[in-house]
Structure 1
Amino acid sequence: MITATLGGLIKDYRIKKRLSQIDVALKLGWKDTSRLSKIEQGRVGKPNRDTAQRIILALDLTEQERGNFLLVGGYLPTDDEVRMVISENKQKIDSWKYPAYLMDFSFRWLYTNTHTLTAANISTEQKDWVEKTRPNFLKFPFVPKEQLPVEIMKGEDEEHLKPFAIAQIAAFKTENEQYQNESWYKNLVKDLMQYDGFREYWPKIDQSDYHKKLFDYEFKTMKGIHDGKEVNLKFHLSTGKVISDPRFQVVLYFPADKETEKVFAK
């Protein structure tokens, strides 16, 4: 079921559940269907999170349907939802032999294994910092070199790599185009305007600057220092959405050459 708007999705689910507008309105405690009708038609702003949760219950949505509802509506995961998804995926991420992490659709970095930090030449002691602050991946191309010492390139394959800043902005704009009017989107962009590089690149770059054939695959290189020498790590990245809540994604790295594999063989 693919629907571009939250109102359209609510209508689709209502019809699928064989519920009339009055059925849903009564469950919500609304005296008539006018409010629900306006929401379905997109004539009013999206419901706040509390009302959205009440609509989810009124429609008797499954866990997966609920996650899709919240994704289409652009609702950021709550702290409790983040903790729950981390607990469900922690073992997979921690036991992965190469970089692996959990992020959400807004590009927040929510949980990571230590291999991700090693690849980025970041102290593994920063693992707790990631979980506490949930930094946004859109920020990292523009932070000072001492915060992210590696040089990153990303692309469809090794022959079509783009600088980290271009790839990250283009990917963010592509994946979050429908959320441009959300407060979290506007606040993120406003916050990142503190960086000179972001102010320069943000208005110039769009989806056409970063071509990808597959939504859930990328090739990535990370040039940094390992065992006292410069190494250009090469990875295949596979991204999988969490089935129960597609607002979350687990990203798994696979080494693309022997030199990269050797760094993580210890």
Structure 2
Amino acid sequence: MVKAKRKRITNSVLTYGILCLALIWTIFPIYWMVKSSVSLNSEMYVARPALFSKVITFDHYVDLIFNTTFLHSVWNSLVVATITTVICLTIGILGAYAMTRLKYPGRELFRSSIIVSYLMPTAVLFVPMYVFVSSLGFYDNKYALLIIYPTFVVPYCCYMLISYFKAIPYALEEAALIDGCNRMQTLWHIIIPIALPGIAVVGTFAFTMAWNEYLYAMIMTTSNAQKTATVAISAFKFADSAIWGRIMSASVVCSLPVTILYIAAQSLLISGKYEGSVK
């Protein structure tokens, strides 16, 4: 009895110890980013910066807002990421529904091609994408990203939503079809409400993918009026020197929309809505 109790205590201590180390490993970069954004330059540009700031200042944020066009770049990112998410979720929902519920020749081929498209590195396509979008006259235009981003966000949405739609009992659709609903009405009134937690997860990650993307945004947007936030942050580094105050404060500002989105989406992340619906 005593030996079993000691074993449980030891296991609990090890478990919580590992969890605490993992938490520190995860939280520390965020803490350092926020801490650096409110530190004086004299505290940052030293060989061994202190773990805690002696003086808190918001000069970096004032400099970022009033002396740069970073907020306009954040707005560009917000527009591009929002429109991309809406477009990709719409296509992803329709595509995932067709590949899980409809029967037609080549369905398995389409499903396999989605996985291949999802696994393909985005860097492989940036040269042909650059040539294609430039030929359309969208060079140095943030809306060119609306053509590029769906090429890798739509496969992700379809791939993830297929598993969510497959988990929904088909008997619910049969009941709706018997009651006179067509396929689109069934999708809108039955499938989407039940799969809303999965759609919220996929939409959140799709927004994050478009928000954080850097390679295509760097290639397709060059002027300050068209740059996205990720490209604007990289512009604060010149050769071997970097304006760390601007970089850290910009990183904090850039992380807020995604953080707010994750918090807002938590209310939708509820599973088990359809349990008992076919009994």
TM range (shorter): under 0.3
Query: Which of the pair has more CA radius of gyration?
Result: 2
Q: TM-score, normalised by structure 1?
A: 0.23
Which gives a bigger RCO, structure 1 or 2 (Cα 8 Å, sep 6+)?
2
Q: TM-score, normalised by structure 2?
A: 0.22
Higher helix share: 2
